[in-house]
Structure 1
Amino acid sequence: MRRTVVTTLVVALAAGAVGAALMPRVPHLGGQVSGDPDLAGAVRSAVPDPKGHRGLAVALIENGRIRTAGLGDRDTAGRPVETGTAFEIGSVTKALTGMLLADQVAAGVVRPDDRLGGTWPTVTGPARDVTLAELSSHRAGLPRLAPGSPLGWARIVWSNVSGGNPYAGQGVDGVRSAADRVSPGDGRGEVHYSNLGPSVLGQALAAKAGVAYPDLLEARLLRPLGMTATVVATGPDDLPPDRAHGTRAGGRPLDPWLGAGYAPAGVGPWSTAEDLARLVAATLAGTAPGADAASARFREDDDTRIGYGWFTTRHGDREVVWHNGATSGFRSYVGFERATGRGVVVLGNTDRGVEAIGLRLLGAPEEEAGSATPMAPVWIGVGLAVAFTFLGGLSLFGTARRRELDRVTLLAAAVWAFAYLGLGHRLGDWSVVPAWLWPLGAALSAAAVTLAATRWQALPAVDARVPWRRLLSVASSLFAAALAVAAAIA
């Protein structure tokens, strides 16, 4: 027994040392600066914690004057963020799609109360009766995403675990088909955030114009505003050169999101702080095509109203018009205050929120700014980090101490001990959870494996009345563990 304890401690210490070398490396906002140094200094003062940020591109608009700055690194190689570095902008695109609607209304092409079916006649399902205004303001009663098959949902889950593109292969026909399959729910007329609704709207406006959505956006909004660095990447060849690379706040690199179908909602668009600053300045001045989209028309709650894509929220005594974006490895925030003539653009290349930075630059009270960043994803990442890091080792300890045990069961538990460890490394938010916890989890798993090894020789291969059932159960468990390991190392 004494030898076993000593051996277990030695193995645990060795595994902890190896784990310390392999533990998650959390990005920090680097010291590199480009553009306006005063603005860069203000941004650093507005960042509550540089941990979890890798790079930021920022623009500040004050009474028509635009200042820009880049801070930190645009990729893991340490290349600096510049003021013209392109970032994924995600759902900020919904505001652009809302501006397309307002532009087409002003041009007499459509009306806000036009039905979807009249604008996009190939949509024949119940959703054909929702209006364009409802689609742009998340009031159409459509679900957040299109309903999918079990295989489709499995692919989305796998993409989220492996860091891939969950929207891969979802083209315009897929969005149209989804519009045919859904029915407006009981929440129609109320604001319920949806990615499907703005996607359907953008594709409907493009179909009405007889062009693809990226071409309509280019012709009606981007080109008139001189936003030459803004692109919609529907495939790898469309990705901007020298772009920022996205990672999780815990440091894991992630694939860009590409696809034509959900482009109007934010899958595929890339832009720069400079380009989006042109958009904000022109919208504040009322000269941007579709600038009227930013006018609040419908109420979400006591503090927030919505226009065509743009939200308007009170922060203390300030009223800010805004939209944010969140893709896999990028965060964005665009906002402006009409009363002061001030606007802001903040783009980041990790999944750490940037809303608080933008609001602080606009002058919002610190407590108001801090509450603007969604917290649910952070706590999910914290839970995954802690649970997965220790769950496998603790479970193996419990299995190894069972009286009735066989080798196949013990083997499956040992594999899962390290599979969980890998998932914790990849999926946990180590910008919040201390990274040194992961080596402790590695030491725990190694100690549990050592204890299991001491029982191996005395155990039967299969201890069950129906051996094939036990083997099938263990085989399926090992297959799932193999998938988890593959996702962790992808």
Structure 2
Amino acid sequence: MRKPTVLTLVVGLVAAVAAVGIMPRAPRLTGQSTGDTALAADVRAAVPDPEGHRGLAVAVLENGQVRTAGLGERDAAGRPVEPGTPFEIGSITKAMTGMLLARQAATGAVRPDEPVGTVLPALTGPAREATLAELASHRSGLPRLAVTSAGDLVGTWWANVTGGNPYAGRDARWLLDAAGGEEPGDGRGQVHYSNLGVALLGQALATRAGTSYPELLDRELLRPLGMTATVVATDAGALPPGRAEGSTAGGRAVDAWVGGGYAPAGVGPWSTAEDLARLLGATLAGTAPGADAATPRFTEDDRNRVGYGWFTTRYGDREIVWHNGATGGFHAYLGFERATGRGVVVLGNTDKGVESIGLRLLGLPARDADGDGPPLPVWIGAGLAVVLTFLGGLSLLGATRRAPDRLTLAPAVAWAVLYLALGHRLGDWSVVPGWFWPVGAGLSAAGIVLAAYRWRGLPPLAGAPPWRRLTSATFSALLAALALAILTP
């Protein structure tokens, strides 16, 4: 066996062993718990897979009584989750916005069939034609989000890739300007989920009431229900103390989502399991302001109907009224069954779904609670973990054999390191075993050894015309700079 081959194998093995110390480790629900110990045990039994969850706050309403528990960790420091720990609740806010519509309609302040343009005069364009009821039930035909330019798309993508806040700077004025360029599509009258629609609804109701959305929500719903721990953070300074820290299921920390424009649709609101249990109990009892919003009014398909913000789904002969929420680092579920009077709140501080936990706690069998398996984004994250971890090393080994000059080999070495780092950061390591990454590190290290051995015998520049080679190297350098930006916290 030739000396370079032996050295390559040794370095690759050493690097793989050393990389075990820094391999990606997905969060995992720990054994610590607070609150009702029996409920905590029930929750653990309802968690299909603890990998990818860091902490959970849960409330169960049954026979008029509320039990609460906290499980796992609220942050990377290991502080325990408590029933009163604030979590981002995302689109659960849409159910509250629907309740504001039902309340204002009951008092005569607005009419559900009223065009949003008459309530929100600052809104221009065809979107003005959508009615308040259409906005509340996702039947307006408006798109999921407003997009004003290609820069918006790039900015949203970049924030999602880097774990940033995709709604930064998007206040109510921005929302109205952006919505002015949208129009109800051919799907008007059919249920197509629209964050934009519910955001416009909330801003319209606040305008009619002569106040801001956070103040309207607090005045009309939160204070009457005693939900003192629920806040709408339109800027970072309003984030609640003692809050849980969000992350991806793979363990990457993410920023909180704050921004006034999409607040009625779920950007900025934080709540606790205890507070949401108050909302749940009062809605079930019919005493919450706008509780009628949970009544299904429109049909989506043969299993699903929608009211004002709330969804109703049939599972065999049972019906669950619910809404969920998902932000960059949190997942939430709120659901109840009228027939049994049972309700549940589940809040998690990673982007791993908690809907199946909630449905199991409501008593649904696993085949119904677990649905059709992991969503597409989970498999995208898993694919990124595998592809990026091994792509750099494999590409470098190929480039080492074929490289005509050092200008070809140098970028391949750089990308062997960058791909490995991108796999560590962007991969979903709650799905892919973490030990894959040290194997990829060993492969990259072996490629670097071979590249170093070959380097001495290569000319600086050869082959294609120099301008073409230099252009290729420059483009590779720009992509490398982009990768470094993604890797920079």
The TM-score bracket by the shorter chain reads over 0.9
Distance 1:447 1:406 in 2: 19
CA contact (8 A) 2:33 2:81 kept: yes
* Offset of residue 399 of structure 1: 1.9
**Match in the other structure for 2:281:** 281
* Offset of residue 154 of structure 1: 2.1
**Match in the other structure for 1:365:** 365
Distance 1:408 1:148 in 2: 41
**Match in the other structure for 2:387:** 387
* Offset of residue 408 of structure 1: 2.1
**Match in the other structure for 1:78:** 78
**Match in the other structure for 2:240:** 240
- Which amino acid counterpart does residue 435 of structure 1 have in structure 2? G
* Offset of residue 216 of structure 1: 0.6
**Match in the other structure for 1:461:** 460
Matched pairs, number: 489
CA contact (8 A) 2:404 2:463 kept: no
* Offset of residue 478 of structure 1: 1.6
- Which amino acid counterpart does residue 469 of structure 1 have in structure 2? R
Counterparts of 1:51-450 in structure 2 under 5 Å?
A: 51-371=51-371, 375-402=375-402, 405-450=404-449
Distance 1:133 1:406 in 2: 66
- Which amino acid counterpart does residue 254 of structure 1 have in structure 2? V
CA contact (8 A) 1:249 1:351 kept: yes
* Offset of residue 53 of structure 1: 1.0
**The residue matched to 1:96 in structure 2 has which SS?**
helix
* Offset of residue 485 of structure 1: 2.6
Distance 1:150 1:17 in 2: 44
**The residue matched to 1:74 in structure 2 has which SS?**
coil
* Offset of residue 393 of structure 1: 1.4
**The residue matched to 2:113 in structure 1 has which SS?**
coil
**The residue matched to 2:387 in structure 1 has which SS?**
helix
CA contact (8 A) 1:249 1:430 kept: yes
**The residue matched to 1:401 in structure 2 has which SS?**
helix
Spell out, residue by residue over 1:162-220, the C-alpha distance to the aligned partner (whole angstroms, 9 max, x if none): 11111111111111012100111111111111211111111111112121110111011
**What are the ranges of 5 or more consecutive residues in structure 2 without an aligned counterpart?**
none
Distance 2:359 2:257 in 1: 27
- Which amino acid counterpart does residue 415 of structure 2 have in structure 1? W
Distance 1:374 1:216, change over 3 A: farther
* Offset of residue 158 of structure 1: 1.8
CA contact (8 A) 1:138 1:197 kept: yes
* Offset of residue 381 of structure 1: 1.3
Distance 2:349 2:395 in 1: 36
CA contact (8 A) 2:148 2:181 kept: no
- Which amino acid counterpart does residue 420 of structure 2 have in structure 1? L
- Which amino acid counterpart does residue 423 of structure 1 have in structure 2? L
CA contact (8 A) 1:232 1:263 kept: yes
* Offset of residue 149 of structure 1: 2.1
Distance 2:101 2:258 in 1: 23
Distance 1:209 1:117 in 2: 15
* Offset of residue 305 of structure 1: 0.8
Q: What do you get for the CA RMSD once the two structures are aligned?
A: 1.4
Distance 1:459 1:195 in 2: 56
**What are the ranges of 5 or more consecutive residues in structure 1 without an aligned counterpart?**
none
Spell out, residue by residue over 1:424-447, the C-alpha distance to the aligned partner (whole angstroms, 9 max, x if none): 111111111110000011111111
**The residue matched to 1:460 in structure 2 has which SS?**
coil
CA contact (8 A) 1:315 1:365 kept: no
* Offset of residue 80 of structure 1: 0.6
Distance 2:163 2:348 in 1: 17
Distance 1:340 1:353 in 2: 25
Distance 1:312 1:373, change over 3 A: farther
Distance 2:85 2:413 in 1: 45
- Which amino acid counterpart does residue 279 of structure 1 have in structure 2? L
Distance 1:372 1:34, change over 3 A: farther
**The residue matched to 2:420 in structure 1 has which SS?**
helix
* Offset of residue 374 of structure 1: 5.4
Distance 1:474 1:416 in 2: 12
* Offset of residue 153 of structure 1: 2.1
Of stretches 248-257 and 407-416 in structure 1, the one that deviates more from structure 2 is 407-416
Distance 1:469 1:154 in 2: 29
Distance 2:243 2:373 in 1: 25
CA contact (8 A) 1:258 1:268 kept: yes
Distance 1:139 1:421 in 2: 44
CA contact (8 A) 1:69 1:82 kept: yes
Distance 2:362 2:372 in 1: 13
Of stretches 12-21 and 75-84 in structure 1, the one that deviates more from structure 2 is 12-21
Structure 2 length-normalised TM: 0.97
- Which amino acid counterpart does residue 333 of structure 1 have in structure 2? Y
**The residue matched to 1:138 in structure 2 has which SS?**
coil
- Which amino acid counterpart does residue 107 of structure 1 have in structure 2? T
Percent identical: 65
Of stretches 427-436 and 462-471 in structure 1, the one that deviates more from structure 2 is 462-471
Distance 2:399 2:383 in 1: 23
Spell out, residue by residue over 1:301-335, the C-alpha distance to the aligned partner (whole angstroms, 9 max, x if none): 21111111111001232200000111111110000
Of stretches 336-345 and 293-302 in structure 1, the one that deviates more from structure 2 is 293-302
Spell out, residue by residue over 1:313-369, the C-alpha distance to the aligned partner (whole angstroms, 9 max, x if none): 012322000001111111100000000000000000111111011001100111100
* Offset of residue 372 of structure 1: 6.8
Counterparts of 1:469-484 in structure 2 under 5 Å?
A: 469-484=468-483
**Match in the other structure for 2:17:** 17
**The residue matched to 1:181 in structure 2 has which SS?**
coil
**The residue matched to 2:347 in structure 1 has which SS?**
strand
- Which amino acid counterpart does residue 294 of structure 1 have in structure 2? A
**The residue matched to 2:94 in structure 1 has which SS?**
helix
Distance 1:219 1:63 in 2: 29
